[in-house]
Structure 1
Amino acid sequence: MAHRYPRTVLTCLALVAVMLLAACGKERVPSSPLPKSGGSYHSHKAGPSPKATFRPYTVNGVRYYPLKSADGFTQKGRASWYGKPFHGRKTSNGEVYNMYNMTCAHKILPMNTVVRVTNRSNGKSAVLRVNDRGPFVGTRVIDLSYAAAKSLGVIGPGTAPVKVEAIGMAGHPPSRSIAREVAGAPYYIQVGAFTEWGNAEHAREALVRQGFRQSRVRRAEVDGRSFYRVQAGRFDGMDRARRAHALLKSRYPQSFVLRD
């Protein structure tokens, strides 16, 4: 015998069914996703709070001792990057991570240290600010934001050999030695890299004919293989380099400005 329910009961049952179906259709977000590209790992709970920037901390059983000063700090090693899985989360110094800002994570540099990171495989460099701790994977020395990794050409390969140089603190002028170095450093525009010196020399001569008389070829070793980088120049300021780059990038779309 069929049971008859009041219309109000049937309406409530229908609403519950609709809500259950809607919930099943939502995408589930992993509780602690890891980035696919750089394979970085950040442990914000273990990292220091803004009030304890220099206090030692432990991650995965390893004790880290942040430096009290970054003066003269340089380091070579491998860089990775981290993006969407951490976008919007808090960094180790309490800020909200924005993958489109030029920031980075380092295990021991003081928070707000300004560093120049140079990709040793392509010569690209960028100035970044430390606002996070990491990477805690293998022997990697620095973790780049998405924007920083893109500017340095690290997005595709996921990691790259880099040189890290501390050049100051955010909100403070750089030291006198660094200020002299930056003020006197010339700029160049790298237009290409060749495996044959003869091809690189032909490209340099073409630049000279275009009026870039101080263009040069620089040899570099990457994973035991020689590359010859052709660089147009020289330019005594970023503004002059950018104006020249605007003229060259239509012919050399992969070109970029670098500082010597």
Structure 2
Amino acid sequence: MASWYGPPYAGRKGADGTVYDQNAMTAAHLTLPMGTMVRVTNLTNNESVVVKITDRGPFVHGRIIDLSLAAAKATGVYRAGVAKVKVEAFAAPLRANADPGGHWCVQVGAFARESDALKLKEEMIRRYATAKVIEFPGPTGHWVRISPKLPNKSNASEVADSIHPKDTAAAPYLIRTD
């Protein structure tokens, strides 16, 4: 299932560090590498669009991709709110060995209830005492992130790799915060 996201996120930075433009052909996916190009086809009306993965999500069980407002309108997902889709990745970005710089952290959870976010935050503080653990409200709930002492991408990646999947509500992923 696909859903879409728009106005509350417009102008905010996505997980890849770029500013979200709801009028661009972009999408959020939980696991595909940032910059991957995918074709999304609405199985109800056979409308399709090519989008670039620039963010993480959706954080709702059963959904596989969140489309930008423009992509949702182009495929007919906008009117319905959600739709069954086929997602085909066809162009992944080249990976450079050099660290891209910037400040990075690891998002380990997104919660509707603040109490759930605080519970995970306390657990992460116990396990990762050398890192800063941040809980803050977002437009759709509360997020928990871990920021390593030296917040470069490789250190954040090491933290993400060390987190056991059963310890978090969703798969941890990297976010550029600058």
Please give the TM-score of this superposition, normalised by the length of structure 2: 0.52
Shift of 1:139: 1.1
Is the contact between residue 28 and residue 55 of structure 2 (CA under 8 Å) also seen in structure 1?
A: yes
SS of 1:164's partner is strand
Q: Aligned residue pairs: how many?
A: 95
Rounded to whole Å, the distance in 2 between the matches of 1:110 and 1:126 is 18
Shift of 1:171: 7.5
Report what 2:4 is aligned to: 81
1:198-248 per-residue CA deviation (whole Å, 9 max, x = no partner) reads: xxxxxxxxxxxxxxxxxxxxxxxxxxxxxxxxxxxxxxxxxxxxxxxxxxx
SS of 1:140's partner is coil
Runs of 5+ consecutive residues of structure 2 not aligned to the other structure:
96-178
1:120-169 per-residue CA deviation (whole Å, 9 max, x = no partner) reads: 00000111100000000121000000000000011111000000000113
- 1:109 equivalent to 2:32? Answer yes
Rounded to whole Å, the distance in 1 between the matches of 2:11 and 2:56 is 16
Higher relative contact order (Cα pairs below 8 Å, separated by 6+ residues): 2
Residue 79 (structure 2) aligned to one of 156, 167, 173: 156
Rounded to whole Å, the distance in 1 between the matches of 2:4 and 2:34 is 18
Rounded to whole Å, the distance in 2 between the matches of 1:121 and 1:171 is 33
Residue 142 (structure 1) aligned to one of 53, 65, 87: 65
Residue identity matched to 2:69: Y
SS of 1:156's partner is helix
Report what 1:224 is aligned to: none
Percent of residue pairs bearing the same amino acid type = 55
Report what 2:19 is aligned to: 96
Larger Rg: 1
Instruction: Specify whether residues 142 and 110 from structure 1 end up closer, same or farther in structure 2 by C-alpha distance, changes over 3 A only.
Output: same
Is the contact between residue 72 and residue 78 of structure 2 (CA under 8 Å) also seen in structure 1?
A: yes
Report what 2:50 is aligned to: 127
Shift of 1:170: 5.1
Please give the TM-score of this superposition, normalised by the length of structure 1: 0.36
SS of 1:160's partner is coil
Rounded to whole Å, the distance in 2 between the matches of 1:143 and 1:114 is 14
Rounded to whole Å, the distance in 2 between the matches of 1:168 and 1:138 is 26
When the two chains are superposed, the root-mean-square deviation of aligned CA atoms in Å is: 1.4
Is the contact between residue 33 and residue 93 of structure 2 (CA under 8 Å) also seen in structure 1?
A: no
Is the contact between residue 83 and residue 99 of structure 1 (CA under 8 Å) also seen in structure 2?
A: yes
Report what 2:126 is aligned to: none
SS of 1:92's partner is coil
Runs of 4+ in 1 over 4 A off after TM superposition: none
